[in-house]
């Protein structure tokens, strides 16, 4: 049995690109996988890693599944297959972790094929971790390939970017994804799911299986309640921090984006949140565009703050109070 992930239908071209590295025998020392969340970057990186680790890849660059390396990969005990993640989800990757890895990487790989290090998410490397890593990125030890995965490439320092081959994943074709979602058993709302997840298929699937649309509707109603002064921001933010703060921030940013679009009288199909068009449109008529933009700016700033040490409840307090005040006049 093999644990190599299957190729998702929209990844064919990207995969061929990666395979050419192997078949052409010009494997780069570092590859950066950049693209939206939920598009299948990790799966593809894993698949690529398995191919790199295998000592007898076939002509299509696929792992043989038989050799000793492949057996070790399948047993998840391959010594040359290293993953570097934050110690806790959402926290930074610390310099100590890098130093530990570097001491391992200073030795030769244990098997005759390549050694692979997957760093995910690469944007969570803190500044000292990046600096400790730079030297190695430039001159890695032999047969070692680094795969860096990120959905926020703009947050990576230029010194890191410049040392990597970049593979950018574009948004997959919606029709193809809809078909795929249908095959996965998502029979309804696939259009909306895809729109809310910004075209990321895996995220859409995740939303569908967790009933996320329902939660989103509930949060949106609370958001409207704040605007109508039916509830106080702090009461809502207290509940929201217990959910997924990063996700909620994405949602409210989406709502504000759509409000701005509504101010310019864009039709419903151009919105991210088509199902909320009625409410958004009504709300937009009473709002002042310039102040809406300042709330939007605050949301963008908050997106950079959400992964830091800052108190998340206070962060939502601020956003929601500003939102409430926008609606006061």
Partner 1 sequence: MRLKAEQLEAALNKNLAPVYLIAGDEPLQLGEAADAVRRAAKKAGFENREVLTVDAHFEWASLGESADSFSIFADKKIIDLRLPSGKPGAEGAKAFTEYCARLPEDTLLLITSGKLDSASLKSKWAQALDKVGVIIQIWPPSGQDLINWLQNRMANKGLSGDQEGLRLLAGRVEGNLLAAAQEIEKLFVLHGPKQLSRHDIESAVADSSRYDVFNLCDAMLAGKTGRILKMLQGLKSEGTAEPLVLWALTRDIRLLISIKAARYQGFSKDQALRNAHVWENRKGLVLGAEQRLKLTQLNKALLMSTEADRRIKGASKGSAWDTLTQICLLIGGAEVMAETI
Q: Residues interacting with partner 1, by CB under 8 A?
A: 231-235, 238, 305, 308-311, 314-315, 317-318, 321-322, 324-325
Alpha helices for 107-197 (secondary structure H): 127-138, 158-161, 174-183, 190-196
CB-nearer residue toward partner 1: 233 or 245:
233
CB-nearer residue toward partner 1: 137 or 321:
321
**Shortest reach from residue 303's CB to partner 1, in Å:** 13
CB-nearer residue toward partner 1: 165 or 325:
325
Closest to 321 measured CA to CA, from 226, 221, 250, 246? 226
Q: Are 93 and 126 in contact (CB under 8 A)?
A: yes
d(CA 164, CA 161): 6
**Shortest reach from residue 254's CB to partner 1, in Å:** 22
CB-nearer residue toward partner 1: 143 or 291:
291
CB-nearer residue toward partner 1: 161 or 321:
321
**Shortest reach from residue 302's CB to partner 1, in Å:** 10
Neighbours of 291 (CB within 10 A): 14
**Shortest reach from residue 249's CB to partner 1, in Å:** 14
Tokens of 322: 């500003």
Residues counted in the chain: 329
Alpha helices for 37-164 (secondary structure H): 41-53, 68-74, 95-105, 127-138, 158-161
**Shortest reach from residue 129's CB to partner 1, in Å:** 18
**Shortest reach from residue 218's CB to partner 1, in Å:** 20
d(CA 106, CA 123): 24
d(CA 202, CA 196): 12
CB-nearer residue toward partner 1: 2 or 231:
231
d(CA 99, CA 132): 7
């Amino acid at each position: 049995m093999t644990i190599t992930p299957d190729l998702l239908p929209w990844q064919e071209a990207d995969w061929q690109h990666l395979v050419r590295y192997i078949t052409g025998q010009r494997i780069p020392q570092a590859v950066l996988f950049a693209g939206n969340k939920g598009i299948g970057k990790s799966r593809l990186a894993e698949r690529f890693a398995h191919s790199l680790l295998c000592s007898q890849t076939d002509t299509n660059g696929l792992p043989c599944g038989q050799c000793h390396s492949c057996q070790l990969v399948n047993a998840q005990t391959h010594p040359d297959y290293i993953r570097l993640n934050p110690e806790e989800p959402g926290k930074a990757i610390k310099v100590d972790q890098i130093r530990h890895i570097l001491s391992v990487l200073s030795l030769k790989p244990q098997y005759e094929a390549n050694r692979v290090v997957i760093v995910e998410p690469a944007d969570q490397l803190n500044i000292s971790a990046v600096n400790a890593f730079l030297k190695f990125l430039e001159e890695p030890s032999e047969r070692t390939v680094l795969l860096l995965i990120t959905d926020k490439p703009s947050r990576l320092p230029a010194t890191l970017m410049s040392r990597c081959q970049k593979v950018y994943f574009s948004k997959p074709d919606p029709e193809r994804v809809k078909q795929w979602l249908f095959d996965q058993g998502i029979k309804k709302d696939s259009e909306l799911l895809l729109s809310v997840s910004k075209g990321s298929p895996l995220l859409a699937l995740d939303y569908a299986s967790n009933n996320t649309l329902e939660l989103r509707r509930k949060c949106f109603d609370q958001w409207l309640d704040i605007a109508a002064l039916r509830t106080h921001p702090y009461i809502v933010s207290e509940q929201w921090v217990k959910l997924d703060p990063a996700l909620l921030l994405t949602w409210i940013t989406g709502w504000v984006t759509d409000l701005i679009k509504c101010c310019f009288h864009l039709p419903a199909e151009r919105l991210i949140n088509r199902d909320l068009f009625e409410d958004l449109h009504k709300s937009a008529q009473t709002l002042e565009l310039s102040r809406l933009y300042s709330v939007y700016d605050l949301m963008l700033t908050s997106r950079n703050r959400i992964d830091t040490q800052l108190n998340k409840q206070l962060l939502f307090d601020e956003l929601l109070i500003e939102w409430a005040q926008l609606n006061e006049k």
